[in-house]
Amino acid sequence: MRIRNVKNASEIINNSKYFIKYPKEERIDKIFNNEKPIHLEIGCGKGKFITEMAVKYPNINFIGYERSESIILRAIQKAEERDLPNLRFICADASDIKDIFYKDIDLIYLNFSDPWPKKRHAKRRLTHENFLKVYDDAFKGRKEIIMKTDNDDLFCFSVESFSKYGYIIEEMCIDLHKSDIENIKTEYEEKFSEKGFTIKYVKVIKD
C-alpha cells in the first residue's frame, strides 16, 4: 500500500492529547493513570477498529501502534472527534516494541498485518517466533493474541507458529463474517470483504 505523506503530520500528532510522544521514556501503565487492562493493536492503520473498541469498552485501555505518521494522524483525528480517555497512540516501528513495553499489556491485536509473502522475509511477519518472544516481555501475565487476516498463507503460517511456540488455540474460524464471533471491522477488512475475500480469525492464549 502506498502511503501519502501528510504535510505537518508530525507537528499535528505531537500536539494531540491522544499521542504518546516519548514512549521509550515513559511507563506505559502510568499513561492512563488507572489499573484497567491495556489492549494493544499493532498496526492500527487509520484507527477505525481501535477507536470503536475504545468506545464500546470504556473499562479497557487501548493503544494503537503504527509506524507511519501520516497514517496514525488519521487515527488520531478519529479519536479527537470523541472524548476517549481510554485511548492512546504510539508511532514507532514494530522492532521498537521491546524497548517500549514491559509487563504492560493484557491482549494484543494483530489485524491484517503485512503477510511478507516471500520465504526469505518470514522473520518480518508479526507472528514469527522472533516477535512472539518480544511479546512475552510485553505481556503482564497470561498472554492473549487475537489475529485477523485475509491472507491464507499468513494465516496457516501464524497458526503453526503460535502452536509451536506453546500457544493454545481458544477460538478459530476461516470465515469470520459468517460466524457468531463478535467483531469490529477495520478499514482494510471492510474493503476486502466487499471484494469477496474471506476473513480468517484466531484467538490464542498462553499461560
Q: Which residues are catalytic?
A: 114
C-alpha cell at 115: 503477510
Helical residues (DSSP H) of the chain, grouped into ranges: 9-14, 28-31, 48-56, 69-80, 97-100, 129-138, 152-164, 187-194
Q: Are 86 and 62 in contact (CB under 8 A)?
A: yes
The residue with cell 469490529 is 184
C-alpha cell at 12: 499535528
Q: Which residues contact 42 (CB under 8 A, 6 or more apart)?
A: 65, 94, 97, 108, 109, 110, 113, 126
Task: For residues 29 and 36, give the distance between their C-alpha atoms in angstroms, rounded to a whole number.
Answer: 9
Task: For residues 121 and 118, give the distance between their C-alpha atoms in angstroms, rounded to a whole number.
Answer: 5
